[in-house]
């Protein structure tokens, strides 16, 4: 039999084990870089909510932007946000639902490791200061669960990138994750906060996506490895048998 000849050759057995390990490693392929992005050009929150991602990695089931329950969606062209950011503390903004949200969902049997969130935003008129706090459902939607805080006193601050690599709970996500960007200001002033448009993507997440091997795949791999070891085992047994007969 061809199969018995393959498995009885030590060289072929070694080759088979290499193939098994290659298959096992290939099954956990990792994709790096920008995995989801939104471009608010040509749209606004009043017209399209939730707003689907402009770029979505094939290993993601979905990605959407939305506004919190305390926010009235804005119809301003080429933005995504709204008014109603009228609180003067993070705790107030959290209880009032004053946030913009970003939700992404991996495909079944896929795990996300997030490295960064980049976003471009602004307010309709300058206020000293407007505050933002990033939180997620994986960590906590409470003041203690803040992942990033930012304050600005102009209308159109530069794009901000939040480094997520140091947050352990964001390195192995296998179900939907929602980020909320809460907003409030120190005193009277604008209540309008929006993601805004520039060239290309205006909000994006970067990271890697790995395939979680099925338990059956492990079983098959182990079975093939054991099968590949059979000639070695047989030779050892034969040698042991010869020695015992001496």
Q: Is 7 helix (H, G, I), strand (E, B) or coil?
A: helix
* Residue 41 is a binding residue for Ca ion (CB under 5 A): yes
Nearer to Ca ion (CB atom), residue 24 or residue 159: 159
Q: Tell me the closest approach of the beta carbon of residue 200 to Ca ion, in angstroms.
A: 6
**Is residue 182 a contact partner of residue 132, using CB atoms and an 8 Å limit?**
yes
Alpha-carbon gap, residue 37 to 34, rounded angstroms: 7
From 142, 138, 136, select the one nearest 162 (Cα to Cα).
Answer: 136
Nearer to Ca ion (CB atom), residue 41 or residue 161: 41
Q: Tell me the closest approach of the beta carbon of residue 85 to Ca ion, in angstroms.
A: 22
Q: Which of residues 179-198 bind Ca ion (CB under 5 A)?
A: 197
32 DSSP assignment:
-
Q: Which stretch binds Ca ion (CB under 5 A): 33-41, 105-113, 129-137, 219-227?
A: 33-41
The contact pattern for Ca ion, residues 55-94, with x = CB under 5 A and - = no contact, is ----------------------------------------
**How many chain residues bind Ca ion (CB under 5 A)?**
4
Alpha helices in the chain (DSSP H): 2-8, 10-26, 90-96, 215-245
**Is residue 95 a contact partner of residue 143, using CB atoms and an 8 Å limit?**
no
Q: Tell me the closest approach of the beta carbon of residue 64 to Ca ion, in angstroms.
A: 17
Task: Check the CA dihedral 66-68-69-75 and report its sign.
Answer: negative
* Residue 121 is a binding residue for Ca ion (CB under 5 A): no
Nearer to Ca ion (CB atom), residue 98 or residue 197: 197
169 DSSP assignment:
G
Choosing from 54, 202, 207, 231, the residue that interacts with Ca ion (CB under 5 A) is: 202
**Residues found near Ca ion in the complex (CB under 5 A):** 39, 41, 197, 202
């Amino acid at each position: 039999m061809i199969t018995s000849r393959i498995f009885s050759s030590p060289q072929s057995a070694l080759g088979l084990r290499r193939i098994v390990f290659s298959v096992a490693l290939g099954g956990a392929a990792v994709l790096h870089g920008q995995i989801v992005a939104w471009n608010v050009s040509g749209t606004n929150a009043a017209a399209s909510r939730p707003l689907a991602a402009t770029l979505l990695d094939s290993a993601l089931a979905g990605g959407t932007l939305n506004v919190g329950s305390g926010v009235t969606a804005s119809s301003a062209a080429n933005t995504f946000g709204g008014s109603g950011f009228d609180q003067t503390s993070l705790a107030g903004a959290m209880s009032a639902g004053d946030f913009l949200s970003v939700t992404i969902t991996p495909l079944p049997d896929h795990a996300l490791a997030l490295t960064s969130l980049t976003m471009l935003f602004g307010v309709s008129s300058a206020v000293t200061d407007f505050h933002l706090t990033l939180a997620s459902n994986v960590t906590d939607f409470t003041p203690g669960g803040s992942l990033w805080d930012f304050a600005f006193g102009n209308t159109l601050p530069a794009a901000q990138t939040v480094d997520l690599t140091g947050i352990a709970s964001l390195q192995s996500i296998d179900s939907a994750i929602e980020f909320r960007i809460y907003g409030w200001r120190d005193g009277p002033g604008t209540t309008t906060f929006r993601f805004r448009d520039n060239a290309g993507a205006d909000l994006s997440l970067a990271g890697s996506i790995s395939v979680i091997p099925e338990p059956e795949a492990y079983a098959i791999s182990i079975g093939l490895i054991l099968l590949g070891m059979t000639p070695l085992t047989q030779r050892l047994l034969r040698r042991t048998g010869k020695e015992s007969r001496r």
